[in-house]
Chain A
């Protein structure tokens, strides 16, 4: 965990309302799939950093993809190449795939597709078979196909059917699950999607890990702002104990 003043190497749109930013952290960063960064907006008016998943980490260079949502992400999108951005990284636990888990299913929707790319980058070279089920809003939102195509098999669907079949990522996965028989399922996306996935996974005995989102203060586990509810009644910090949790252990 480090705070660095990073230099922007690239920052440009890759789909409607979605930007990809690559920055140099100045020193090589050991990063696990599913970890995230906290980006300073840096204008003095927005005091909270924005948590964004790491898509790609190559030595000093980190790439993130973000959807324009409010003022913070809009300000980030205006950062010029060569500009500086304060980054706290790497944060969170990340996805961890066991040695014996050979077949991975990835289920990603919305901004939840971005951490999936980091999984592909880490685990394809380790010889895992990865089946990806990725949902976009419509064809204008489709992005990151080059990263996603590293999958053993890739299914892209859209909410309106303008690209691939008209369904969501969970439906695409559910129709394929018995054929593929994954050893583990990794997922990230909006809460309703994760709830649907929890239902699909119930009783299958297949372990399933989900990456959660919550509003954050410190981003490092100190302020207890970002909690989620665990099924055992405890609160867990999304930024430090997560963002990745066993789907059976969290209340969605």
Chain B
């Protein structure tokens, strides 16, 4: 039995496996299938100040080895989460990470102030379109990344801040440094890559939104490369994700420099994916005589 626990910004996770934002809701549905207290943590569906209805359907499409989604941040709003779901989720004894989004800089500041001290960590989703940037995501330009991080950090007196980086950028390492300068406590990556799938019979994009975020097994090599670059560009802990389906995938991220990992799309393919990954990490460590999983972090030697 290896020690799978990891420490992230002073928070102890019993293992490095975190449910990725948007794929596990607030945990209740997966808890009907297995006890989610086995997880290291859970990142909530992206929360906004007010409830949001989200996009038209279809919101999901499939392409070889990947999926595309355009949910459009449907969520019941931060107050509903605090009132109805937070206490239940905390009762599960896992790290509760509130994933937040906004359409203005002020939104981010307000929602962070509201969640300060209530959750274990706040994760900033800066990949959604923002009015401040004329509809472009705040997460694209380094100066915007720094600004939204600085304002959010200013509103968080007691809760560590994780900034989730978008891969749809010129240099993810440059944006990582911008988040570090803005005061981020840790970074997570990658959010989805922008893509399109076409229904050739109708000669229309499959998604009602035309474009959507690509995730799932096929994005893993891109995600691992980016995690490696970011982990070596900043001195902050990094949470890696993108296409993780099994323990071996998670280990690639950890060896490339990630302290913990998030698992998203794999939960759709296999509802038991996360418990299986946790068991698999333990089995791998045992087979390789590794006593502490944390010792594997950043052990990659380049060729």
Q: Give the B-binding residues of A (Cβ under 8 A).
A: 1-3, 40, 44-49, 86, 88, 214-228, 233, 235, 240
The residue that A221 contacts in the complex, of B22, B25, B69, B71, with Cβ under 8 A, is B25
- List 5 additional contacts besides A47-B62, A214-B58, A221-B29; criterion CB under 8 Å: A47-B268, A88-B271, A220-B32, A222-B25, A227-B74
What A residues does B54 contact at CB under 8 A?
224, 227, 235
Question: How far in angstroms is the closest Cβ of chain B from A67?
Answer: 16
Contact A215 B271 (CB under 8 A): no
Contact A40 B269 (CB under 8 A): yes
Q: How far, in angstroms, from A115 to B60 measured CA to CA in the complex?
A: 24
Question: How far in angstroms is the closest Cβ of chain B from A175?
Answer: 33
Contact A217 B268 (CB under 8 A): yes
What B residues does A226 contact at CB under 8 A?
57, 59-60
Question: How far in angstroms is the closest Cβ of chain B from A158?
Answer: 24
Q: How far, in angstroms, from A193 to B65 measured CA to CA in the complex?
A: 34
Residue of B nearest to A218 (CB): B268
Q: With contacts A1-B33, A217-B23, A227-B59 known, is A48 near B270, CB below 8 A? A: no
Bin the interface of chain B by size: 35 or more
Q: How far, in angstroms, from A140 to B230 measured CA to CA in the complex?
A: 59
What B residues does A214 contact at CB under 8 A?
57-58
Residue of B nearest to A45 (CB): B64
What A residues does B284 contact at CB under 8 A?
none
| Interface bits B46-73 vs A (CB < 8 Å: 1, else 0) | 0000000110011111101111010100
Task: Indicate if B30 sits at the interface (CB-CB under 8 A).
Answer: yes
What A residues does B66 contact at CB under 8 A?
47
| Interface bits B21-38 vs A (CB < 8 Å: 1, else 0) | 011110011101100000
The residue that A222 contacts in the complex, of B30, B61, B265, with Cβ under 8 A, is B30
Contact B33 A223 (CB under 8 A): no
Contact A223 B271 (CB under 8 A): no
Q: How far, in angstroms, from A225 to B67 measured CA to CA in the complex?
A: 12
What A residues does B272 contact at CB under 8 A?
3
Task: Indicate if B217 sits at the interface (CB-CB under 8 A).
Answer: yes
Contact A225 B60 (CB under 8 A): yes
Q: Give the A-binding residues of B (Cβ under 8 A).
A: 22-25, 28-30, 32-33, 45, 53-54, 57-62, 64-67, 69, 71, 74-75, 216-217, 265, 267-272
Q: How far, in angstroms, from A215 to B208 measured CA to CA in the complex?
A: 12
Main SS at interface, chain A? loop
Q: How far, in angstroms, from A222 to B69 measured CA to CA in the complex?
A: 14
Q: How far, in angstroms, from A228 to B28 measured CA to CA in the complex?
A: 21
Q: How far, in angstroms, from A108 to B71 measured CA to CA in the complex?
A: 30
Contact B59 A48 (CB under 8 A): no
Q: How far, in angstroms, from A86 to B25 measured CA to CA in the complex?
A: 22
Question: How far in angstroms is the closest Cβ of chain A from B97?
Answer: 16
What A residues does B58 contact at CB under 8 A?
214-215
What B residues does A45 contact at CB under 8 A?
64-65
Residue in B45, B61, B268 whose Cβ sees the most chain A Cβ within 10 Å? B268
Contact B30 A220 (CB under 8 A): yes
Q: How far, in angstroms, from A85 to B108 measured CA to CA in the complex?
A: 44
Q: With contacts A47-B66, A47-B67, A222-B25 known, is A215 near B269, CB below 8 A? A: no
Question: How far in angstroms is the closest Cβ of chain A from B47?
Answer: 13
Q: How far, in angstroms, from A235 to B76 measured CA to CA in the complex?
A: 11
Residue of B nearest to A70 (CB): B62
Q: How far, in angstroms, from A88 to B69 measured CA to CA in the complex?
A: 21
Residue of A nearest to B26 (CB): A222
Q: How far, in angstroms, from A2 to B265 measured CA to CA in the complex?
A: 18
Contact B60 A48 (CB under 8 A): yes
Q: With contacts A47-B66, A217-B60 known, is A225 near B71, CB below 8 A? A: yes
Contact A228 B269 (CB under 8 A): no
Contact B57 A215 (CB under 8 A): yes
